[in-house]
Structure 1
Amino acid sequence: MADQTPAGTPATPAGPPAGAAHHRLRAAAHRHLARHPRAAALVDRLTPRSVRARTTLAACASVAVVLIIASAAVILLLRVNLERTVEADAREQAQAVARLATDGHLTSPLPLDHGTDFIQVVDANGRVVAASQNLTGRPPLAPARHHPNGHRTFNLDARGHAHHQRVTSIAATTPTGPVTIYVGASLHTADAAEDLTTAALAVLSTVLLFTVGALTWRATGRALRPVEAIRAEVAAIGDRDLNRRVPEPRSDDEIARLADTMNAMLQRLEAAGTRQRRFIADASHELRSPLTVLRTQLEVALAHSDPDVHADLVAGALEDTERLQALAADLLLLARLDTTDHDWPDEPVDFADLIHTTVAARGVEPHPVDVHALTAITIPGNPLWLRRLLTNLLDNAQRHARSHITVRLTTDRASGHAVLDVTNDGPPIEPADHEKIFERFARLDDARSRDDGGTGLGLPIARDIAAIHKGTLTVLDAPGATTFRTRLPIPPQPSPAKVMK
């Protein structure tokens, strides 16, 4: 028997890769838009700009691609199964006729089974030996329509109208010689089922596509509603409304975390603004007092011609001028320390030597200073700023000590820090004030600090310098003493084995 395989389709010449064709198509579209500004403007206007529209369009496009692929696969599988069924029926009919031909029992017309359109038996000379009723008197099919694969699909106007048929051919041997049996099975049922399935899938896909678009549009709108509320609230917050907060959704998702982060940022901004306003107010107050005293002294000096009074007033004015100069220098240094564009100073500094030279350069002071810094410790830093840190701590200790001050430098190898302790035997600081004393212009004893020359900026400057050096400055209370402890990181030292290598 001849092979019975499905009819082949014409070969398609190999083309360029799909990616290259896509790029060429995009390039051609860009060239076309470049030559037509109005079309480019129209495309720009039609391009969705909102996240909601883009998300909905992307979801619909993705679902449409999936539906097209799935529908094509379903239709293809349905077509293949239906054609196999038709071929099986035609092959069974052809085999039955072949058995009749072999036994010499061919009759004309030949009966048709269910699903078979026609039967024709042709001998080796091209003469019709037998045929079904609908092909009686018709010329043989073999000379014009024989297919090398045994069967094929073609339009056959056998009953007055064109319809697809699957033709199967089988060779058989009869008592009078070899014959070829042609059996045609109608594909009308397969075509109708394919058309009905295609229409049903098109309707269902359209409904599903619109449903996905509507659900995506609604879900995206609900998801982005808190974002819009956050945006509107942030847009309404001015530089004087930093106490306002954005609404936080009750869900535990990315938008809720965004709102929490925004509120934390607004809280930091509010705190920074409050500190800045308080700092400006305190600086204005601190500058106004010595300026007022200085002006009064100068006015009195101008009004009195007594040389002794004049000399005392000039000396007082010079003292207030020095205080103003120190305050201006502290404010300038704070402004430099507050900038965020400076890098961590990394110049190697012999911290022990810096302590000894700084204490020695201060000369005679009201209270003696005992220095315990025997170990040479090298840390990365800015020597001018580290000297200023130590100077501020010593100035603070001199103002509050009763009899003596101790400076001690040690190392904490476990944590890799140099530890500087500046201790005075003055009155202890209440635990509640341990952080307050590091606020700018903060004074626990306002009148005494002004009398002894304190500006309220020494300890804040010292802490900022320690922070810039990636260190800390804290207060430790001990019986009969107060210690300011500074911890600064020490770079790791190479092990002996690595040094030998």
Structure 2
Amino acid sequence: MRFVKTMPLNSLSLKVLLAYAAGMLLSITLLVIAAVVLLQSDMLARMDLADAARGLANDIEFDGSGEPVGFDSRRLDELGWLFEGPQSETAYRILDETGNVAVVSSAGETFWPSDGDLPPLAPGNFTFEHEGKAFFGAAEPLEHDGRTWYLQFAASARFVDLLHKVAFPLVVAGVAVFGVVLFIAFGFCAYITLRYTLKPLRDVSESAAAISPRSIDARLQTSAVPAEIAPLVDSFNCALERLERGYRVQQEFLGTAAHELKTPLALIRAQIELIEGGKKDRAALLNDVEYMTRQVQQLLLLAETSEVHNYHFAGVPMQEVACEVVSFLEHMAESAGVRLEVRAVGDVTWRADRAACFTLLKNLLENAIQHAPAQTTVRVEIQGDTLTVRDRGPGVDEEQLPRLSERFWRAAHRRDHGAGLGLAICQEIALAHGWRLTAERAEPGLRLRLSNEERKSPATLARRQTCMK
């Protein structure tokens, strides 16, 4: 069933349900103990007789002169057998306010105590003995035509005890059935209540699990969270704010450092280019400056791609972007003796940031060109939700494949001396779009595969964009 799930031992729901079950069992046990105690004492007998006397008093009939004549026919049909006949287990009589008997049951006046032990003309319980047997009695006053009458009802102790012995199993069974029904009904209600009461906590947990460096500005909502848990969620939001400030400071430092280094590097390059003598030293210095400039540019680009708010999503024709990248890198490919080729099946449009797509494809193709042997082809294939870039170079060892997207890691057989940030930038862009970038050996060469998970599950993009807001 959908509602039945295995709960861990430290589950709050399980603890509440166990506490509820223990409370129910304790309540049922106390009810049974109370019933046993009451049945073994005369308190319950007195209460029962008082209730019986009260009920009988309401059913007394009077004649035209206002004198009581007995019970109405309905009550006689129901209980007349208790007071008629030779048995002496129950009896009743009706007296006026002076103690004169107006109506008496078949047991007669001899059944009742003599003058010395006469029951009082007042509401309440009394006891007496008749023929060696103990009797419980109760008196109930009633008003009729301005006169006060008293109904006295009595039953033997053994008769009451017999009734209680017969009633006790029924009481226990009734309590058990009532307890089971209550346990199931309220247990189910408690489970459903806990399930929907704790649902906001599950939603908050899922929202917290979705927070990443690309959505660190997201905050957990406290509107539907129980008041007891809201302070914890607020504290978590405060911690997120501190983390965001630290992350922003780090990213700003990275971007500022890259910007600050670009200008002096440009000035150094210009001064070196003006030097006339020492061409070898000049070329070496220019090569070092170019390397440093590329590294700074890659650092700046890495800082920009790590910030999701720098992206502007729209429909992007991937084949068109791939052709633009090929045109941009055509001179580099010709210098390396490598041919670039784009193959696409149909018009493929992904929801993405166009500039970020250009940077990603440019880095993938640059990486492939730097490793591809001369007179070979680097091919870009676009089909549905997959884009692949394949070269026919020496490839990468199987154990080194996971390191391709590590920052500042470089393969030993590449042609240039790059910063080792190209594929790390590609990974940041892919993560920001919800894509998956993987590498696999192509025998020969290396194949980099970009999978658009958003085309498979559009709801994922909606959730991610919600987290970015």
Question: TM-score band (shorter)?
Answer: 0.3 to 0.5
Bigger radius of gyration, 1 or 2? 1
TM-score (norm 2): 0.45
TM-score (norm 1): 0.43
